[in-house]
Amino acid sequence: MTRTIIENAYVATVDAAGTEHASGHVIFEDGVISAVGNGPAPAELRAGADIVDGTGCLVTPGLINTHHHLYQWLTRGYAQDAILFDWLTALYPLWSQIDARLTGIGAAGGMAVLARSGCTTVGDHHYIFPKGSGDIVGAIVAAGSRVGVRLHATRGSMDLGASQGGLPPDFAVETTDAALAASQEAVERWHDPAFGSMVHVAIAPCSPFSVTADLLRESAPLARSLGVRLHTHASETVEEDAYCLERFGSSPTEYLESLGWLGPDVWMAHCVHLDDTAIARYAATGTGVAHCPSSNARLASGIAPVRDMLRAGVPVGLGVDGSASNESGQLGIEIREAVLMGRLRTGADSFSVRTGLRIATMGGARVLGREAEIGSLEPGKLADIAVWRVDGVEHAGILDPVAALGLGAMPPLRRLYVGGRAIVEDGTLVTVEAQVVAAEVAAASRELAERL
Protein backbone atom coordinates (compact mmCIF):
# COMPACT_ATOMS: atom_id res chain seq x y z
CA MET A 1 0.00 0.00 0.00
CA THR A 2 1.30 3.45 -0.95
CA ARG A 3 0.37 6.48 1.15
CA THR A 4 0.74 10.16 0.26
CA ILE A 5 0.28 13.01 2.72
CA ILE A 6 -0.27 16.62 1.69
CA GLU A 7 -0.09 18.91 4.71
CA ASN A 8 0.39 22.51 5.87
CA ALA A 9 -1.91 23.69 3.08
CA TYR A 10 -5.16 25.62 2.90
CA VAL A 11 -7.66 22.84 2.14
CA ALA A 12 -11.00 23.61 0.44
CA THR A 13 -12.83 20.28 0.54
CA VAL A 14 -15.98 21.40 -1.37
CA ASP A 15 -17.97 18.89 0.68
CA ALA A 16 -21.66 19.49 1.36
CA ALA A 17 -20.84 21.74 4.33
CA GLY A 18 -18.14 23.67 2.46
CA THR A 19 -15.52 22.60 5.03
CA GLU A 20 -12.17 24.40 4.79
CA HIS A 21 -8.99 24.09 6.82
CA ALA A 22 -6.60 27.05 7.01
CA SER A 23 -3.74 24.63 7.64
CA GLY A 24 -4.83 21.10 6.95
CA HIS A 25 -3.92 17.75 5.48
CA VAL A 26 -5.19 15.31 2.87
CA ILE A 27 -4.09 11.67 2.88
CA PHE A 28 -4.64 9.17 0.10
CA GLU A 29 -3.73 5.53 -0.27
CA ASP A 30 -3.74 3.51 -3.48
CA GLY A 31 -5.58 6.25 -5.34
CA VAL A 32 -8.36 6.80 -2.79
CA ILE A 33 -8.62 9.55 -0.15
CA SER A 34 -8.38 8.08 3.36
CA ALA A 35 -8.34 11.19 5.55
CA VAL A 36 -8.88 14.95 5.44
CA GLY A 37 -8.48 17.19 8.45
CA ASN A 38 -7.08 20.19 10.25
CA GLY A 39 -3.45 20.49 11.26
CA PRO A 40 -0.65 18.08 10.38
CA ALA A 41 -1.28 14.44 9.55
CA PRO A 42 -1.40 12.02 12.50
CA ALA A 43 2.06 10.85 13.56
CA GLU A 44 1.18 7.16 13.23
CA LEU A 45 0.48 7.60 9.49
CA ARG A 46 3.72 9.31 8.57
CA ALA A 47 6.12 6.36 8.53
CA GLY A 48 6.91 5.36 4.95
CA ALA A 49 4.54 7.93 3.45
CA ASP A 50 5.36 10.32 0.62
CA ILE A 51 4.98 13.66 2.38
CA VAL A 52 4.25 16.77 0.30
CA ASP A 53 4.74 20.04 2.18
CA GLY A 54 1.84 22.22 1.08
CA THR A 55 3.02 25.39 2.76
CA GLY A 56 1.89 28.33 0.63
CA CYS A 57 -0.55 26.15 -1.31
CA LEU A 58 -4.29 25.81 -1.80
CA VAL A 59 -5.59 22.25 -2.11
CA THR A 60 -8.87 21.63 -3.96
CA PRO A 61 -10.54 18.74 -5.73
CA GLY A 62 -9.34 18.30 -9.29
CA LEU A 63 -11.39 20.39 -11.69
CA ILE A 64 -14.00 18.73 -13.91
CA ASN A 65 -14.55 19.83 -17.51
CA THR A 66 -18.09 18.93 -18.59
CA HIS A 67 -17.96 20.10 -22.22
CA HIS A 68 -15.22 20.29 -24.83
CA HIS A 69 -14.47 19.52 -28.48
CA LEU A 70 -10.87 18.37 -28.29
CA TYR A 71 -10.35 18.02 -32.04
CA GLN A 72 -10.77 21.79 -32.31
CA TRP A 73 -7.34 22.26 -30.71
CA LEU A 74 -6.11 22.01 -34.30
CA THR A 75 -8.34 24.84 -35.58
CA ARG A 76 -7.83 27.74 -33.16
CA GLY A 77 -7.84 31.30 -34.43
CA TYR A 78 -10.38 30.92 -37.23
CA ALA A 79 -13.52 33.07 -37.69
CA GLN A 80 -12.44 35.31 -34.85
CA ASP A 81 -15.29 37.82 -35.13
CA ALA A 82 -18.23 35.54 -35.93
CA ILE A 83 -21.34 34.50 -34.04
CA LEU A 84 -22.06 30.79 -33.62
CA PHE A 85 -23.88 29.97 -36.87
CA ASP A 86 -21.40 31.92 -39.03
CA TRP A 87 -18.47 30.44 -37.10
CA LEU A 88 -19.75 26.91 -37.64
CA THR A 89 -20.36 27.49 -41.35
CA ALA A 90 -16.79 28.76 -41.72
CA LEU A 91 -15.27 25.76 -39.94
CA TYR A 92 -17.38 22.79 -41.10
CA PRO A 93 -15.36 22.31 -44.33
CA LEU A 94 -12.10 22.19 -42.38
CA TRP A 95 -13.45 19.84 -39.73
CA SER A 96 -14.79 17.48 -42.39
CA GLN A 97 -11.16 16.65 -43.22
CA ILE A 98 -10.41 15.30 -39.73
CA ASP A 99 -9.39 11.70 -39.09
CA ALA A 100 -8.48 9.54 -36.11
CA ARG A 101 -4.74 10.30 -36.21
CA LEU A 102 -5.19 14.06 -36.32
CA THR A 103 -7.96 13.93 -33.73
CA GLY A 104 -5.69 12.01 -31.36
CA ILE A 105 -2.96 14.61 -31.72
CA GLY A 106 -5.38 17.47 -31.13
CA ALA A 107 -6.90 15.68 -28.16
CA ALA A 108 -3.51 15.16 -26.56
CA GLY A 109 -2.73 18.86 -26.97
CA GLY A 110 -6.06 19.92 -25.52
CA MET A 111 -5.81 17.52 -22.58
CA ALA A 112 -2.24 18.56 -21.81
CA VAL A 113 -3.33 22.17 -21.47
CA LEU A 114 -6.37 21.17 -19.43
CA ALA A 115 -4.17 19.21 -17.01
CA ARG A 116 -1.83 22.15 -16.58
CA SER A 117 -4.86 24.21 -15.60
CA GLY A 118 -5.94 21.86 -12.80
CA CYS A 119 -8.34 19.63 -14.74
CA THR A 120 -8.44 15.96 -13.79
CA THR A 121 -11.62 14.90 -15.61
CA VAL A 122 -12.19 15.82 -19.26
CA GLY A 123 -15.60 15.70 -20.91
CA ASP A 124 -15.33 15.65 -24.71
CA HIS A 125 -18.08 15.97 -27.33
CA HIS A 126 -16.96 14.70 -30.72
CA TYR A 127 -19.61 14.73 -33.44
CA ILE A 128 -17.85 14.77 -36.84
CA PHE A 129 -16.96 11.38 -38.33
CA PRO A 130 -15.98 11.69 -42.00
CA LYS A 131 -16.07 8.52 -44.10
CA GLY A 132 -12.86 6.55 -43.78
CA SER A 133 -11.66 8.58 -40.78
CA GLY A 134 -10.89 5.55 -38.61
CA ASP A 135 -11.54 4.97 -34.91
CA ILE A 136 -11.85 8.55 -33.71
CA VAL A 137 -13.30 7.69 -30.30
CA GLY A 138 -10.48 5.21 -29.79
CA ALA A 139 -7.93 7.88 -30.66
CA ILE A 140 -9.41 10.21 -28.04
CA VAL A 141 -9.36 7.43 -25.46
CA ALA A 142 -5.70 6.74 -26.27
CA ALA A 143 -4.86 10.43 -25.92
CA GLY A 144 -6.51 10.52 -22.50
CA SER A 145 -4.43 7.54 -21.40
CA ARG A 146 -1.30 9.21 -22.75
CA VAL A 147 -1.85 12.40 -20.74
CA GLY A 148 -3.26 10.59 -17.72
CA VAL A 149 -6.59 12.36 -17.26
CA ARG A 150 -9.97 10.83 -16.51
CA LEU A 151 -12.07 10.92 -19.70
CA HIS A 152 -15.79 11.31 -20.31
CA ALA A 153 -15.91 10.81 -24.07
CA THR A 154 -19.06 11.00 -26.13
CA ARG A 155 -19.99 9.48 -29.44
CA GLY A 156 -21.66 12.46 -31.07
CA SER A 157 -23.29 12.68 -34.47
CA MET A 158 -24.94 14.88 -37.09
CA ASP A 159 -27.53 13.57 -39.59
CA LEU A 160 -29.33 16.77 -40.63
CA GLY A 161 -27.51 18.32 -43.58
CA ALA A 162 -28.22 21.61 -45.29
CA SER A 163 -30.38 19.97 -47.96
CA GLN A 164 -32.77 18.86 -45.18
CA GLY A 165 -32.84 22.23 -43.45
CA GLY A 166 -29.93 21.73 -41.07
CA LEU A 167 -26.89 23.93 -40.63
CA PRO A 168 -23.99 21.55 -41.49
CA PRO A 169 -23.19 20.80 -45.14
CA ASP A 170 -24.34 17.42 -46.38
CA PHE A 171 -20.80 16.11 -46.68
CA ALA A 172 -20.31 16.52 -42.91
CA VAL A 173 -23.22 14.34 -41.77
CA GLU A 174 -23.98 10.62 -41.35
CA THR A 175 -27.16 8.66 -41.83
CA THR A 176 -29.36 8.20 -38.78
CA ASP A 177 -28.88 4.43 -38.72
CA ALA A 178 -25.11 4.72 -39.06
CA ALA A 179 -24.93 7.20 -36.20
CA LEU A 180 -27.00 5.00 -33.89
CA ALA A 181 -25.02 1.86 -34.72
CA ALA A 182 -21.68 3.62 -34.22
CA SER A 183 -22.88 5.11 -30.93
CA GLN A 184 -23.76 1.69 -29.58
CA GLU A 185 -20.46 0.26 -30.76
CA ALA A 186 -18.45 3.03 -29.07
CA VAL A 187 -20.23 2.48 -25.75
CA GLU A 188 -19.80 -1.28 -25.87
CA ARG A 189 -16.13 -0.98 -26.75
CA TRP A 190 -14.93 1.84 -24.50
CA HIS A 191 -17.33 2.57 -21.63
CA ASP A 192 -16.19 1.32 -18.23
CA PRO A 193 -18.81 1.80 -15.47
CA ALA A 194 -16.60 0.56 -12.61
CA PHE A 195 -15.70 2.70 -9.59
CA GLY A 196 -12.58 4.69 -10.44
CA SER A 197 -13.05 4.20 -14.18
CA MET A 198 -10.78 6.26 -16.40
CA VAL A 199 -13.17 6.15 -19.38
CA HIS A 200 -16.90 6.77 -19.59
CA VAL A 201 -18.74 7.13 -22.89
CA ALA A 202 -22.04 8.95 -23.46
CA ILE A 203 -24.24 9.27 -26.54
CA ALA A 204 -24.39 12.82 -27.88
CA PRO A 205 -26.22 13.92 -31.05
CA CYS A 206 -24.84 17.37 -31.71
CA SER A 207 -27.67 19.94 -31.58
CA PRO A 208 -31.28 20.64 -32.58
CA PHE A 209 -30.08 22.33 -35.78
CA SER A 210 -27.73 19.54 -36.90
CA VAL A 211 -29.59 16.32 -36.09
CA THR A 212 -33.02 14.95 -36.95
CA ALA A 213 -35.82 14.35 -34.49
CA ASP A 214 -35.46 10.65 -35.28
CA LEU A 215 -31.85 10.59 -34.15
CA LEU A 216 -32.66 12.41 -30.92
CA ARG A 217 -35.72 10.28 -30.24
CA GLU A 218 -33.96 6.97 -30.85
CA SER A 219 -30.73 7.92 -29.06
CA ALA A 220 -32.50 8.37 -25.73
CA PRO A 221 -33.74 4.78 -25.23
CA LEU A 222 -30.52 3.44 -26.75
CA ALA A 223 -28.39 5.25 -24.16
CA ARG A 224 -30.69 4.19 -21.34
CA SER A 225 -30.64 0.57 -22.43
CA LEU A 226 -26.84 0.71 -22.36
CA GLY A 227 -26.72 2.48 -18.99
CA VAL A 228 -24.94 5.61 -20.23
CA ARG A 229 -25.69 9.32 -20.24
CA LEU A 230 -26.98 11.67 -22.94
CA HIS A 231 -25.47 14.98 -24.01
CA THR A 232 -26.19 17.71 -26.56
CA HIS A 233 -26.08 21.47 -27.11
CA ALA A 234 -29.17 23.44 -26.11
CA SER A 235 -30.37 27.05 -25.94
CA GLU A 236 -26.96 28.43 -26.85
CA THR A 237 -28.01 31.41 -29.00
CA VAL A 238 -31.00 33.52 -29.98
CA GLU A 239 -30.56 32.16 -33.51
CA GLU A 240 -31.07 28.62 -32.18
CA ASP A 241 -34.24 29.74 -30.39
CA ALA A 242 -35.54 31.28 -33.62
CA TYR A 243 -34.63 28.13 -35.61
CA CYS A 244 -36.53 25.88 -33.18
CA LEU A 245 -39.55 28.16 -33.11
CA GLU A 246 -39.72 28.32 -36.90
CA ARG A 247 -39.00 24.64 -37.58
CA PHE A 248 -40.65 22.93 -34.61
CA GLY A 249 -43.03 25.54 -33.25
CA SER A 250 -41.44 25.32 -29.80
CA SER A 251 -38.48 26.38 -27.70
CA PRO A 252 -35.37 24.16 -27.60
CA THR A 253 -36.37 22.93 -24.14
CA GLU A 254 -39.90 22.03 -25.22
CA TYR A 255 -38.59 20.31 -28.33
CA LEU A 256 -35.97 18.27 -26.48
CA GLU A 257 -38.38 17.27 -23.73
CA SER A 258 -40.88 16.04 -26.32
CA LEU A 259 -38.20 13.64 -27.58
CA GLY A 260 -37.30 12.22 -24.15
CA TRP A 261 -34.32 14.48 -23.64
CA LEU A 262 -34.80 15.83 -20.15
CA GLY A 263 -33.80 13.73 -17.15
CA PRO A 264 -31.14 13.06 -14.50
CA ASP A 265 -29.05 11.16 -17.07
CA VAL A 266 -28.91 14.14 -19.47
CA TRP A 267 -26.70 17.20 -19.54
CA MET A 268 -26.84 20.10 -21.98
CA ALA A 269 -24.08 22.45 -23.08
CA HIS A 270 -24.45 26.24 -22.73
CA CYS A 271 -28.12 26.92 -21.86
CA VAL A 272 -27.55 30.65 -22.24
CA HIS A 273 -31.16 31.41 -23.15
CA LEU A 274 -33.22 29.46 -20.65
CA ASP A 275 -36.29 31.31 -19.37
CA ASP A 276 -37.88 30.67 -15.96
CA THR A 277 -40.15 27.97 -17.36
CA ALA A 278 -37.24 26.09 -18.94
CA ILE A 279 -35.17 26.38 -15.77
CA ALA A 280 -38.05 24.90 -13.80
CA ARG A 281 -38.24 21.95 -16.20
CA TYR A 282 -34.49 21.34 -15.92
CA ALA A 283 -34.71 21.46 -12.12
CA ALA A 284 -37.76 19.20 -11.93
CA THR A 285 -36.16 16.56 -14.15
CA GLY A 286 -32.60 16.80 -12.80
CA THR A 287 -31.19 17.75 -16.20
CA GLY A 288 -27.63 19.08 -15.95
CA VAL A 289 -25.92 22.03 -17.60
CA ALA A 290 -22.34 22.61 -18.78
CA HIS A 291 -21.65 26.34 -18.35
CA CYS A 292 -19.02 27.65 -20.81
CA PRO A 293 -18.53 31.36 -20.01
CA SER A 294 -15.49 32.17 -22.17
CA SER A 295 -16.87 30.47 -25.27
CA ASN A 296 -20.22 32.18 -24.79
CA ALA A 297 -18.39 35.51 -24.69
CA ARG A 298 -16.10 34.67 -27.65
CA LEU A 299 -19.16 33.98 -29.82
CA ALA A 300 -21.26 36.78 -28.27
CA SER A 301 -23.90 34.23 -27.32
CA GLY A 302 -24.77 35.89 -24.02
CA ILE A 303 -24.42 35.22 -20.27
CA ALA A 304 -26.13 32.11 -18.95
CA PRO A 305 -28.54 32.50 -15.97
CA VAL A 306 -26.38 30.37 -13.70
CA ARG A 307 -27.50 31.92 -10.41
CA ASP A 308 -31.14 31.23 -11.28
CA MET A 309 -30.32 27.66 -12.30
CA LEU A 310 -28.46 26.99 -9.07
CA ARG A 311 -31.22 28.48 -6.93
CA ALA A 312 -33.74 26.25 -8.70
CA GLY A 313 -31.58 23.17 -8.04
CA VAL A 314 -30.28 22.54 -11.56
CA PRO A 315 -26.94 20.64 -11.57
CA VAL A 316 -24.40 23.01 -13.16
CA GLY A 317 -20.82 22.20 -14.10
CA LEU A 318 -18.09 24.15 -15.87
CA GLY A 319 -16.86 23.68 -19.43
CA VAL A 320 -14.15 25.06 -21.69
CA ASP A 321 -16.02 24.26 -24.93
CA GLY A 322 -14.13 23.69 -28.15
CA SER A 323 -10.79 25.42 -28.41
CA ALA A 324 -11.80 26.98 -31.71
CA SER A 325 -14.19 29.13 -29.65
CA ASN A 326 -12.01 29.35 -26.53
CA GLU A 327 -8.42 29.41 -27.63
CA SER A 328 -6.95 29.26 -24.11
CA GLY A 329 -8.25 25.72 -23.57
CA GLN A 330 -7.69 26.12 -19.82
CA LEU A 331 -10.34 25.10 -17.31
CA GLY A 332 -8.82 26.82 -14.30
CA ILE A 333 -9.44 30.30 -15.69
CA GLU A 334 -13.10 29.46 -16.33
CA ILE A 335 -13.73 29.69 -12.57
CA ARG A 336 -12.84 33.38 -12.68
CA GLU A 337 -14.79 33.86 -15.91
CA ALA A 338 -17.87 32.23 -14.38
CA VAL A 339 -17.66 34.45 -11.30
CA LEU A 340 -17.22 37.65 -13.30
CA MET A 341 -19.87 36.82 -15.90
CA GLY A 342 -22.29 35.79 -13.18
CA ARG A 343 -21.83 39.12 -11.43
CA LEU A 344 -22.32 41.03 -14.66
CA ARG A 345 -25.68 39.34 -15.07
CA THR A 346 -27.04 39.38 -11.52
CA GLY A 347 -24.91 41.66 -9.32
CA ALA A 348 -21.68 41.76 -7.34
CA ASP A 349 -23.05 39.75 -4.41
CA SER A 350 -24.73 37.10 -6.53
CA PHE A 351 -21.83 34.83 -7.45
CA SER A 352 -19.10 34.07 -4.91
CA VAL A 353 -15.68 32.61 -5.60
CA ARG A 354 -16.76 29.50 -3.72
CA THR A 355 -19.73 29.12 -6.01
CA GLY A 356 -17.28 29.23 -8.91
CA LEU A 357 -15.10 26.56 -7.31
CA ARG A 358 -18.11 24.39 -6.51
CA ILE A 359 -19.47 24.32 -10.06
CA ALA A 360 -15.95 23.48 -11.30
CA THR A 361 -15.75 20.48 -8.97
CA MET A 362 -18.84 19.01 -7.26
CA GLY A 363 -21.12 20.65 -9.80
CA GLY A 364 -19.29 18.92 -12.63
CA ALA A 365 -19.32 15.63 -10.76
CA ARG A 366 -23.13 15.85 -10.43
CA VAL A 367 -23.52 16.73 -14.10
CA LEU A 368 -21.49 13.67 -15.12
CA GLY A 369 -23.16 11.39 -12.58
CA ARG A 370 -19.99 10.77 -10.57
CA GLU A 371 -20.62 12.71 -7.37
CA ALA A 372 -19.94 9.57 -5.31
CA GLU A 373 -16.43 9.29 -6.78
CA ILE A 374 -15.02 12.75 -7.54
CA GLY A 375 -15.70 16.45 -7.00
CA SER A 376 -14.82 16.85 -3.31
CA LEU A 377 -12.04 15.94 -0.88
CA GLU A 378 -13.66 13.30 1.33
CA PRO A 379 -12.58 9.86 2.56
CA GLY A 380 -13.59 7.14 0.12
CA LYS A 381 -13.44 9.37 -2.94
CA LEU A 382 -10.85 9.14 -5.68
CA ALA A 383 -7.63 11.06 -5.14
CA ASP A 384 -8.20 13.58 -7.94
CA ILE A 385 -6.51 16.53 -6.27
CA ALA A 386 -5.08 19.90 -7.31
CA VAL A 387 -2.36 21.56 -5.24
CA TRP A 388 -2.08 25.22 -6.27
CA ARG A 389 0.80 27.54 -5.35
CA VAL A 390 -0.59 30.79 -3.93
CA ASP A 391 2.64 32.15 -2.42
CA GLY A 392 4.20 33.41 -5.65
CA VAL A 393 4.36 36.95 -6.94
CA GLU A 394 0.82 36.74 -8.35
CA HIS A 395 -0.87 35.86 -5.04
CA ALA A 396 1.48 36.32 -2.07
CA GLY A 397 -0.40 38.04 0.74
CA ILE A 398 -3.88 37.46 -0.68
CA LEU A 399 -6.45 37.46 2.12
CA ASP A 400 -8.37 34.44 0.84
CA PRO A 401 -6.59 31.63 -1.03
CA VAL A 402 -9.83 30.59 -2.78
CA ALA A 403 -10.02 34.11 -4.24
CA ALA A 404 -6.75 33.32 -6.03
CA LEU A 405 -8.79 30.98 -8.22
CA GLY A 406 -12.02 32.93 -8.32
CA LEU A 407 -10.70 36.47 -8.81
CA GLY A 408 -6.96 36.35 -9.43
CA ALA A 409 -4.60 34.97 -12.06
CA MET A 410 -4.70 31.19 -12.37
CA PRO A 411 -2.17 29.86 -9.84
CA PRO A 412 0.56 27.46 -10.96
CA LEU A 413 0.25 23.84 -9.87
CA ARG A 414 2.55 22.30 -7.31
CA ARG A 415 0.93 18.94 -7.98
CA LEU A 416 -2.02 17.50 -9.88
CA TYR A 417 -3.09 13.97 -8.98
CA VAL A 418 -5.48 11.72 -10.91
CA GLY A 419 -6.39 8.64 -8.93
CA GLY A 420 -3.36 9.31 -6.76
CA ARG A 421 -0.96 9.48 -9.70
CA ALA A 422 0.90 12.76 -10.12
CA ILE A 423 0.52 13.97 -13.71
CA VAL A 424 1.75 17.53 -13.08
CA GLU A 425 4.65 18.40 -10.79
CA ASP A 426 5.74 21.99 -10.20
CA GLY A 427 3.86 23.18 -13.26
CA THR A 428 5.37 20.53 -15.56
CA LEU A 429 3.54 17.62 -17.15
CA VAL A 430 5.26 14.40 -16.18
CA THR A 431 3.24 12.03 -18.37
CA VAL A 432 4.06 13.64 -21.72
CA GLU A 433 6.74 15.99 -22.99
CA ALA A 434 4.96 19.30 -23.60
CA GLN A 435 7.29 20.38 -26.40
CA VAL A 436 6.79 17.09 -28.22
CA VAL A 437 3.03 17.50 -28.02
CA ALA A 438 3.34 21.11 -29.20
CA ALA A 439 5.38 20.09 -32.24
CA GLU A 440 2.87 17.36 -33.10
CA VAL A 441 -0.03 19.82 -32.83
CA ALA A 442 1.69 22.41 -35.02
CA ALA A 443 2.35 19.83 -37.74
CA ALA A 444 -1.16 18.39 -37.53
CA SER A 445 -2.75 21.84 -37.74
CA ARG A 446 -0.81 22.60 -40.90
CA GLU A 447 -1.70 19.23 -42.41
CA LEU A 448 -5.40 19.70 -41.69
CA ALA A 449 -5.42 23.18 -43.25
CA GLU A 450 -3.62 21.86 -46.34
CA ARG A 451 -6.23 19.13 -46.84
CA LEU A 452 -8.72 21.74 -48.04
DSSP code string of 300-347: T-----HHHHHHHT--EEE----TTS-TT--SHHHHHHHHHHHHHHH-
Max CA distance (Å), the chain:
70
CATH tag for 3-61+373-429 (out of 2.40.240.10, 2.30.40.10, 3.40.50.1970, 2.70.150.10) = 2.30.40.10
| Position 339, amino acid | V
Condensed to tens digits (0 to 9), the pLDDT of residues 377-429 reads 999 999 999 999 999 999 999 999 999 999 999 999 999 999 999 999 999 99
DSSP code string of 139-161: HHHHHHHHHT-EEEEEEEE----
- Tell me the backbone φ, ψ of residue 156, rounded to 5 degrees: -85, -175
| Position 233, amino acid | H
Quote the pTM value.
0.98
Smallest CA-to-CA distance from 204 within 140, 158, 262, 249 is with 158
Distance CA 96, CA 128 (A): 7
For residue 1, the model assigns a pLDDT of 63
Collapsing DSSP states into helix, strand and coil, what is residue 55?
A: coil
For residue 130, the model assigns a pLDDT of 95
Smallest CA-to-CA distance from 278 within 247, 241, 246, 323 is with 241
Q: Is residue 159 within 8 Å of residue 176, measured between CB atoms?
A: yes
**Long-range contacts of residues 16-24, Cβ cutoff 8 Å, at least 24 apart:** 16/376, 18/354, 20/402, 24/59
Distance CA 55, CA 419 (A): 22
- Tell me the backbone φ, ψ of residue 318, rounded to 5 degrees: -110, 145
Class of residue 277 by CB neighbours under 10 A (exposed 0-12, middle 13-18, buried 19+): exposed
Q: Per CATH, is 63-367 categorized as 3.40.630.30?
A: no
Smallest CA-to-CA distance from 71 within 150, 116, 134 is with 134
Q: Is residue 107 within 8 Å of residue 320, measured between CB atoms?
A: no
**Domain definitions of the chain by residue range:** 3-61+373-429, 63-367
Distance CA 327, CA 346 (A): 27
Q: How far does the chain reach from its first CA to its final CA, in angstroms?
A: 53
Low-confidence ranges of the chain (pLDDT < 70): 1
